[in-house]
Chain A
Amino acid sequence: MDSKVKIKTEEINFFYGRHRALTDINLDIYEKRVTAIIGPSGCGKSTFIRLINRMNELVPNTSLSGSIYIDGQDIFLGSIDPVEIRRRVGMVFQKPNPFAKSIFENIAYGLEVNGVKDRGFIEEKVVESLKKAALWEEVKNRLSASALGISGGQQQRLCIARCLAVEPEVILFDEPCASLDPISTAKIEELIQELKKYYTIVIVTHNMQQAARVSDDTAFFLLGELVEFDRTQNIFTAPRDSRTEAYITGRFG
């Protein structure tokens, strides 16, 4: 059961202007497991995962201290290109955000921007990614149709396929089911179970049942602090911290 640490964060502090959004976060994320991050709104969950693919630095007026290591490499070193980090660490957002292009082009895009020119390879990769994202059967006859014309759940799986195409090592899910119906949610959860065979997965969720269903490890954040991190089973059956217990039993949040 002991797998390798894929992402290690050390003493992460993050500020929006003067507001401290994260305080001294030390967290290990294990390879090819699903780590859920739970906590009430505004506790810094999304802020935290957006550090792992260096998306937060696009937000003006923010500052950061501490380090994040992926495979032992500090991703905030000056010599590291954030663009390369983002290729290695994919992200699926809260609201499906396909491009206003065809289904095919949506997936091909990530390959193209990363310098792939071989059409044959791109076509292969599109099919493979759609299959991995459990969307192939539903869209195989309309790859050239607009991605905005498919349902929200399908769009979200398209976004997952788009992310898989560039072969990331880690996939960050930022409340991926927040805008989806229960059936689409179930499909995404099933998919996450399948994907963890190949990828390290971090999922932010408001939904504790979802965290319990899909994750191996769970981190509970509160007011920008990491309160507790453990195997999901332990968090939900025998939390050590009284605040964790209060949250998972629904006494606040």
Chain B
Amino acid sequence: MRKDRVEKIGFGLLFLSIAVTVLLLFSIIYFISARGIKVISWEFITQPPRDAMTAGGVAPAIIGTLCLTLIAIAFSLPLGLACAIYLCEYSPRGYIVNLIRVGINNLAGVPSVVFGLFGLAVFVKFFKFGVSMLSGGLTLGILVLPVIISASQEALMAVPNSVREASLALGATKWQTIKKIILPTALPGVLTGTILSIGRVAGETAPILFTAAAFYLRGYPHSLFSEVMALPYHIYALMTEGAHPQEQTAIAYGCSLILLALVLLVSFVAILIRQRQRGYGHGQ
């Protein structure tokens, strides 16, 4: 009788937790959409801003965010995956490797504004890339490197050892085994890490604050060394500067909605790819 009640209360609490979470999720989407949708138009996503940010569109910021994300992932995915492969498949298990793992995990906890200052010192100043798309992209890339490494490592470790043995026993080399058997099996997991990273990269403000972002640009970036506008920074700027808070706030919500939509779109595409990859994993 009492056991029964404890069971019910426990279940109720768990259900409540998930209900609150789902509610939160939907309310974020609802509020951002409801406020953002008013300013969204074809002009908003294809035109640059006009009239001191109170009219026109945010196209340069959309393009900027896409470019920054692309550079960041193009830098961190190959590098991170290679690190994960080394750590999982090649490195001898031992003290040093454990230390490296701990180091990488800790890197993930470093505040993003610190990465921003690092990017300023290294890419902008030392390598003389200037405040540019390249500096910002690389800074963002380093920010998500630990996420990609950890996710890839987990995906690689989840590949059963029996499959590695099967491949080696057929006379495959280690590299053939990694390339043709382990990586395809681990790909869904690696992609999951990449999706998370894309969301993070697209939304970060602090790392690009000093390395890439401009408040207002008339045109589009024309090379890797151009300054860029970016959606998260544009939102920040709209909300903190300028003389027309009312119009600017509306545009900021519009930007948020676009950012949200971009991240969801990327996730959706990645999930589709993942499902296709997994097709063979579940048999039919």
Task: Give residues in A with beta carbon < 8 Å to B.
Answer: 53, 55, 58, 60, 83-84, 86-88, 90-91, 93, 95, 97-102, 109-110, 112-114, 145-150, 159, 162-163, 166
B166 and A159 within 8 A (CB): yes
* Chain B minimum-CB-distance residue to A106: B166
Binds A, one of B143-151, B179-187, B213-221: B179-187
Task: Give residues in B with beta carbon < 8 Å to A.
Answer: 92-93, 160, 162-163, 165-173, 176, 180-181, 184-185, 279-284
Tell me the bound Cα distance from A86 to B173 in angstroms. Answer: 10
Tell me the bound Cα distance from A98 to B172 in angstroms. Answer: 15
Tell me the bound Cα distance from A15 to B170 in angstroms. Answer: 25
Tell me the bound Cα distance from A90 to B169 in angstroms. Answer: 6
Give me the 3 closest cross-chain CB pairs, A-B, nearest first: A87-B171, A149-B283, A113-B172
Tell me the bound Cα distance from A231 to B243 in angstroms. Answer: 97
A95-B162, A99-B163 known; A146-B280 Cβ under 8 A: yes
A100 and B170 within 8 A (CB): no
Tell me the bound Cα distance from A48 to B92 in angstroms. Answer: 24
* Chain A minimum-CB-distance residue to B185: A100
Give the residue of B160, B170, B173 whose beta carbon is less than 8 angstroms from that of A109. B170
B169 and A55 within 8 A (CB): yes
A-B contact pairs, 21 of them (CB 8 A): A58-B168, A83-B168, A84-B171, A86-B168, A87-B170, A90-B169, A91-B169, A93-B162, A93-B165, A95-B162, A97-B163, A97-B166, A100-B185, A100-B281, A101-B184, A101-B280, A109-B170, A109-B180, A114-B171, A147-B280, A148-B281
* Chain A nearest CB, measured from B233 CB (Å): 43
Tell me the bound Cα distance from A138 to B58 in angstroms. Answer: 60
A100-B184, A100-B280, A100-B281 known; A113-B163 Cβ under 8 A: no
A53 and B162 within 8 A (CB): no
* Chain A nearest CB, measured from B123 CB (Å): 40
A113 and B284 within 8 A (CB): no
A113 and B184 within 8 A (CB): no
Tell me the bound Cα distance from A112 to B173 in angstroms. Answer: 12
B93 and A148 within 8 A (CB): no
Tell me the bound Cα distance from A59 to B184 in angstroms. Answer: 24
Tell me the bound Cα distance from A2 to B170 in angstroms. Answer: 30
Tell me the bound Cα distance from A95 to B166 in angstroms. Answer: 11
Give the residue of A97, A100, A113 whose beta carbon is less than 8 angstroms from that of B165. A97
Residues of B contacting A90 with CB < 8 Å?
169-170
A100-B184, A113-B173 known; A148-B166 Cβ under 8 A: no
Tell me the bound Cα distance from A233 to B160 in angstroms. Answer: 39
B92 and A60 within 8 A (CB): yes
Residues of B contacting A145 with CB < 8 Å?
283-284
A100-B280, A146-B280 known; A86-B169 Cβ under 8 A: yes
* Chain A minimum-CB-distance residue to B279: A146
Residues of B contacting A86 with CB < 8 Å?
168-171
Contacts A91-B169, A113-B167, A166-B170 supplied; 7 other A-B pairs, CB < 8 Å:
A60-B92, A83-B171, A83-B173, A109-B167, A113-B176, A146-B281, A149-B284
Tell me the bound Cα distance from A167 to B23 in angstroms. Answer: 61
* Chain A nearest CB, measured from B281 CB (Å): 5
Most chain A beta carbons < 10 A, residue from B166, B181, B282? B166
* Chain A nearest CB, measured from B175 CB (Å): 10
A101-B280, A102-B280, A145-B284 known; A113-B171 Cβ under 8 A: yes
* Chain B minimum-CB-distance residue to A105: B280
Residues of A contacting B284 with CB < 8 Å?
145-146, 149
* Chain A nearest CB, measured from B94 CB (Å): 9
A55 and B165 within 8 A (CB): yes
Tell me the bound Cα distance from A58 to B165 in angstroms. Answer: 9
Residues of B contacting A113 with CB < 8 Å?
167, 170-173, 176, 180
Residues of A contacting B282 with CB < 8 Å?
146, 148
Tell me the bound Cα distance from A83 to B172 in angstroms. Answer: 6
B93 and A60 within 8 A (CB): yes
Tell me the bound Cα distance from A166 to B176 in angstroms. Answer: 16
Residues of B contacting A99 with CB < 8 Å?
163, 166-167, 181
Residues of A contacting B92 with CB < 8 Å?
60
* Chain A nearest CB, measured from B284 CB (Å): 5
* Chain B nearest CB, measured from A86 CB (Å): 5
* Chain B nearest CB, measured from A62 CB (Å): 13
* Chain A minimum-CB-distance residue to B172: A113
Residues of A contacting B280 with CB < 8 Å?
100-102, 146-148
* Chain B nearest CB, measured from A120 CB (Å): 21
Residues of A contacting B168 with CB < 8 Å?
55, 58, 83, 86
* Chain A nearest CB, measured from B271 CB (Å): 19
Residues of B contacting A146 with CB < 8 Å?
279-284
* Chain A nearest CB, measured from B276 CB (Å): 13
Tell me the bound Cα distance from A206 to B163 in angstroms. Answer: 23
Most chain B beta carbons < 10 A, residue from A91, A113, A149? A113
B169 and A53 within 8 A (CB): yes
